[in-house]
Each structure stands twice: as C-alpha cells, then as structure tokens.
Amino acid sequence: MPIVKDFFIALSNNTFLNNAAKNIGPVLGANKVVAGNTIPKLLDTIEQLNAKGISVTVDNLGEFVATKGEALKAKEQILEIMAAIYDHQLDAHMSVKLSQLGAEFDIELAYDNLREILLKAHEYDNMHINIDTEKYDSLFAITQTLDRLKGEFKNVGTVIQAYLYKADALVDKYPELRLRMVKGAYKEEQNIAYQTKEEIDENYIHLVEKRLKNAKHLTSIATHDDRIINHVKQFVRDNKIERDRFEFQMLYGFRSELAEAIAKEGYQFCIYVPYGDDWFGYFMRRLAERPQNINLAIKEFIKPQFVKKAGLFTGSLVVTGLALKYLSKRGK
C-alpha cells in the first residue's frame, strides 16, 4: 500500500528520529541488518561472508551531513574502513554517498573528498568505489561529479534506479562503468518516476537485459525478487552471457540463505553491508521497500525493553508504522 510506504520514507527522512535512534540500535534489532559500529565487528562480518564465496560492498552509514567538519569526518571514516579492508586482504569495496561528503552544501568539497578516496583506493589494488544514488534532487550532482572523475579513475561507478524515467538514458550513458541496478527506495513524484510495482519491475528487467547485452563492465543486479533472479538466470543462459560480466547483490540480513545458495551455484555474489550508528534511515527505507521483513521487525520492536529505552515518542512512531505495514499485508 503506497500510504504505508510513504510513512516509512517519512520516518527515514526525520532527523530527530535518526538522531534519537543512534544509541539504541541493538535494542531495536538493527544488528540484524547492520554490521555493528566498530571496525573489528565489520571485518568479522566481511570475513564470514568471504568464507562463503560472497564479496562485500560497505556503506558507512550517515546522510544528515550539514557542515564541512562532518563531511571531513565521514571521509576519514571511509578511508579508515578502506585501510582495514586492504590490510586484512578482504574481498570488499566501498559504497559512498555524495551527500555524506558534503554535496548538499558544497559540491566542490564533496568532489575533493571523493577524489581523495579514489586516489587512496587506487593505491589499495584499485579498490572499487561506488557512488550510491539518493533522492532525485541529488541526481544531477552525482552524475556531474561522476563525469568529472570517470576519465581519471577506472575504479568508480554508480547506481541506476529503475523507477526513474531517466534510468534508460543513464544506462546508455555509462556502458564502460561498473553499475549497480536497483529498483529505487525513495519517494519520488509521478512526473519523475514510475509509481507502481508492476511498472518498476518491468523497467528493471528491461534495463538489466539492456545492460547485460551492451555493458563493457560489471553489472550488479541488486534484487531479492525470486522472479527477477530466475528471469536473469534464464536470460544469461539464452544469450550466452558469461558469469564474470555480472553479479547478484542483496542487502545484509535479508534472504541470507538464498544469497548463499546462489553463490554456491557458481554465480558472483555481493552483499551490501551497512556499518555504523546512523542506521535508522537506512532501516526504514528497507522496511518501506521490502514488506516481507516486517514480521521480523515487529518481533524485535514490540519488546518491552524497546519502549523503555527508545522512549514513548520514538517507540510509538516506529511500532505504529510497523503495525500498519503488518496489517496491510495481512489484509491482502
């Protein structure tokens, strides 16, 4: 139901709730979808996934960056994670948000921060750096920055959101870059994006097929949808597309058994692993886009200690949203 999805998106964009939730992540069950908030915990998660033949892309959580100091701190955190990955020789790379590097108030600062990250990544065996897409309002800044960097660096890529009408043109624009294909997790207006699941799914499949036929670099197919996964498997067989040209990708903590099964089939597989304290906005968007996980979330969130530690206001908002989602699913 669109109204329930909108509710979760609104929660994800609420600065007060994001700040309030930082210290109570474990109580809320955030550790099920976020790999802790210390480097050792993150490295342990990556090592466990690598042992199962699964690579990792790490997201250093945090979107509400409003000052140069905060942007520089985020850059240093990302560099610290990259150094730890390289020192431990793990199969992992970084996904970064331009807004976290200062783009919403100083695009040149964000560009300089990202370029420094890419220079260091080049030293680390040309580690891949993916620029995550965000709200539509940020798309121009992201593509502008990417266009400035892609001539200098070969280890940079971005994300294509299939619900955007512009997605088709972006796939055509970047055949030489590594791209992650997603459906899209933000609330966008009707004149910007497809609104129904059917339209988005149809465009997603169209874009994936187009990309697999024409791309000159790796394509990450990020979905938990069995129907789409099976469709892609059949498509690559029918078109004799080599498995080293693409990978499947899923979110940490979601459908882990399926991820491991696909990796065991011999497909390249990558898990998107969030890390840090700023987990709330990320988690709310995951609930908005994936109702299958709502039962697990409710079991965690309605425990007495949640209300006690989270506070009545925060707790009631989250539990109300979860309950609405749960009831909407039960009513189908």
Answer yes or no: 132 catalytic. yes
Catalytic hit among 132, 178, 278, 285 = 132
Going 312 to 313 to 314 to 315, the CA torsion angle's sign is positive
Answer yes or no: 245 catalytic. no
Distances (CA, A) of 187 to 54, 229, 307, 319: 31, 24, 28, 21
Catalytic hit among 180, 211, 255, 285 = 180
**Given phi > 0 = left and psi -120 to 50 = alpha, else beta, which region is 103?**
alpha
DSSP strands (E only) in the chain:
55-60, 92-97, 129-132, 156-161, 179-182, 219-222, 246-251, 269-275
Give the C-alpha separation, 2 to 197, whole Å.
Answer: 10
Residue type for position 313? F
**What pairs with residue 247 in β-bridges?**
220
Token digits of residue 136: 């539509």
Q: Exposed, middle or buried, 166 (CB in 10 Å: 0-12/13-18/19+)?
A: middle
Between 2-12 and 280-289, two packed helices, what is the crossing angle to 10 degrees?
Answer: 170
Contact 58, 99 (CB under 8 A): no
Which 3 state secondary structure label does DSSP give 97?
strand
CB count within 10 Å of CB 48 equals: 12
Active centre residues (catalytic)? 132, 180
